[in-house]
């Protein structure tokens, strides 16, 4: 058993790293005896607001320092962080990382290495930054059989969608997000759902013990959502959110990321701006929602500090942390077999029999229609349909056949409805 004093190193001193270092130095006096011994950087000459003697450019100085108990990885990107984490765990050091890319890529393997070496590996900040949700999922909800997890876990896209709900176009909202630093100059990762996909992969591992591959997770982004879609959503008392959804029902496991129409009274509808939320459903717990800041240096550093304290608590008794423990109820369910309800907007020629033909095609594909609204007349009428739940492949086939009709000039949009 160790005494209550721990030696820590940090890999990286960027935006988040600096915030973590500032918090670590404060923590030392208040809660726990922490000795920050080394910080890995690429440039030692830069002034960083803390003792320059801590800086090193050589990872091996940290890896081979026997006094170091715990290393915080905040480098960003997959390499070299991934190799560093493996080497550290294998060398008997506990690791905390905020790096969703690495955990999505090889979280399961890293957890195994941590367990084999009896060290801790925490990554609370990798999903929903400042919201303590991974630890409650692994520990407090360990005995629950979860049925569904659905999250708004990309702050940038939620910021854009919230601005659009308030009347912005997609282009204006994106520009605003970029000006405020919420979106990168190249926003692809955020707006195309790739960041949300990585986080969904981590939640899949923790909630259901499954590590789906990047290709297994159907992913659709928000860049095709228009102001008109929001106008329609409002008419239907709904809004539009980018949701990472993971089901594990009797019919199998599926993880996916897509924009959905959410009822305005649903808890996810009230998650606005850069906030994140994770909704968890199970038979005994009904529905839990964890919400809070999904991005930013201060909340991310808070999650890392929480992990540091958890790791220290475990290290006192030389224990590894709680590993995810879930087994899959049934097998995987392909996205084509997922049950969805679609909201569909069609540009049609307003002529006799159009609706009958369209309804007929849905019927042939076993899709039933919940509601239809026609707006306008003549060659530019708009037909807005909401279907009942049906299999994705039946919905896709229907839309393919419908888009081939001469009376249908355009499938303006089809967005799934959150059920």
Q: Which stretches of the chain bind its own copies, using CB under 8 A?
A: 23, 27, 31, 124, 130-132, 135-136, 139-144, 265, 267, 270, 282-293, 298-299, 301-303, 305-306, 308-310, 313, 316-319, 322, 325
Round to whole Å and give the CA distance between 307 and 120.
10
Q: What's the closest the beta carbon of residue 96 comes to its own copies, in angstroms?
A: 12
Q: What is the 3-state secondary structure (H, E, C) of the chain?
A: CCCCEEEEEEECCCHHHHHHHHHHHHHHHHCCEEEEEEEECCCCCCCCCCCHHHEECCHHHHHCCCCCCEEEECCCCCCCHHHHHHHHHHCCCEEEECCHHHHHHHHHHHHHHHHHCCCCEECHHHCCCCCCCHHHHHHHCCCCCEEEEEEECCHHHHHHHHHHHCCCCHHHHHHHHHHCCCCCCCCHHHHCCHHHHHHHHHHHHHHHCCCCCHHHCEECCCCCCCHHHHHHHHHCCEEEEEEEEEEEECCEEEEEEEEEEEECCCHHHHCCCCEEEEEEEECCCEEEEEEEECCCHHHHHHHHHHHHHHHHHHHHCCCCCCCCCCCCCCCECCHHHCEEEEEEEEEECCCCCHHHHHHHHHHHCCCCEEEEEEECCHHHEEEEEEECCEEHHHHHHHHHHHHCCCCEEEEEEEEEECC
Torsions phi, psi of 415, nearest 5? Answer: -125, 140
Q: What's the closest the beta carbon of residue 1 comes to its own copies, in angstroms?
A: 9
Q: What's the closest the beta carbon of residue 201 comes to its own copies, in angstroms?
A: 22
Identify the residue whose tokens are 């919230």. 162
Our CB check for its own copies shows the closer of 103 and 278 to be 278
Our CB check for its own copies shows the closer of 287 and 371 to be 287
240, 230 contact by CB (below 8 A): yes
Q: What angle do CA 327, 329, 330 make, to 5 degrees?
A: 125
Q: What's the closest the beta carbon of residue 36 comes to its own copies, in angstroms?
A: 14
In the chain, what's the furthest Cα-to-Cα distance?
83
Q: What's the closest the beta carbon of residue 154 comes to its own copies, in angstroms?
A: 17
Our CB check for its own copies shows the closer of 266 and 388 to be 266
Do you know the residue count of the chain? 419
Q: What's the closest the beta carbon of residue 412 comes to its own copies, in angstroms?
A: 30
Our CB check for its own copies shows the closer of 99 and 291 to be 291
Q: What's the closest the beta carbon of residue 72 comes to its own copies, in angstroms?
A: 13
Our CB check for its own copies shows the closer of 26 and 46 to be 26
Round to whole Å and give the CA distance between 220 and 5.
47
Whether 199 is catalytic is yes
Our CB check for its own copies shows the closer of 264 and 396 to be 264
Q: What's the closest the beta carbon of residue 323 comes to its own copies, in angstroms?
A: 11
Our CB check for its own copies shows the closer of 320 and 365 to be 320
Q: Which of 199, 227, 234, 241 is catalytic?
A: 199
Our CB check for its own copies shows the closer of 45 and 284 to be 284
Supply the residues annotated as catalytic: 199
């Amino acid at each position: 058993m160790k005494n209550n004093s721990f030696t820590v190193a940090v890999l990286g001193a960027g935006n988040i790293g600096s915030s973590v270092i500032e918090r670590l130095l404060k923590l030392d006096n208040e809660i726990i005896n922490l000795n920050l011994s080394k910080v890995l950087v690429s440039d030692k000459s830069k002034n960083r607001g803390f003792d320059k003697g801590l800086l090193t450019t050589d990872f091996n100085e940290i890896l081979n320092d026997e006094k170091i108990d715990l290393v915080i990885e905040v480098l960003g990107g997959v390499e070299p962080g991934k190799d560093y984490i493996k080497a550290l765990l294998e060398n008997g050091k506990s690791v905390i990382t905020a790096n969703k890319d690495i955990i999505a890529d090889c979280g399961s393997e890293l957890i195994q290495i941590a367990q084999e070496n009896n060290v801790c590996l925490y990554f609370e900040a990798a999903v929903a930054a400042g919201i303590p949700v991974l630890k409650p999922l692994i520990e407090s909800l360990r005995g629950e059989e979860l049925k569904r997890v659905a999250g708004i876990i990309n702050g940038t896209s939620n910021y854009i969608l919230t601005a659009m709900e308030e009347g912005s176009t997609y282009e204006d909202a994106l520009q605003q997000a970029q000006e405020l630093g919420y979106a990168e100059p190249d926003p692809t990762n955020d707006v195309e759902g790739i960041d949300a996909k990585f986080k969904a992969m981590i939640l899949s591992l923790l909630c259901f013990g499954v590590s789906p591959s990047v290709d297994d997770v159907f992913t659709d982004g928000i860049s095709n959502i228009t102001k008109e879609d929001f106008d329609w959503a409002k008419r239907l008392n709904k809004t539009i959110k980018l949701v990472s959804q993971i089901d594990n029902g009797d019919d199998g496991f599926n993880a996916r990321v897509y924009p959905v129409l959410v009822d305005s009274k649903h808890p996810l509808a009230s998650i606005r701006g850069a906030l994140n939320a994770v909704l968890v459903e199970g038979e005994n717990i009904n529905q839990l929602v964890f919400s809070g800041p999904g991005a930013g240096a201060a909340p991310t550093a808070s999650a890392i500090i929480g992990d540091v304290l958890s790791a220290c608590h475990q290290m006192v008794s030389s224990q590894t942390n709680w590993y995810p423990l879930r087994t899959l109820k049934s097998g995987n369910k392909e996205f084509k077999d997922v049950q969805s309800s679609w909201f569909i907007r069609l540009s049609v020629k307003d002529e006799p029999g159009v609706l009958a033909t369209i309804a007929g095609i849905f019927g042939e594909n076993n899709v039933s229609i919940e509601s239809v609204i026609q707006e306008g007349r003549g060659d530019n009428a708009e037909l807005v349909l909401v279907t009942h739940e049906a299999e994705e492949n039946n919905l896709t086939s229907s839309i393919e056949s419908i888009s081939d009709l001469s009376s249908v000039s355009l499938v303006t949009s089809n967005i799934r409805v959150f059920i």
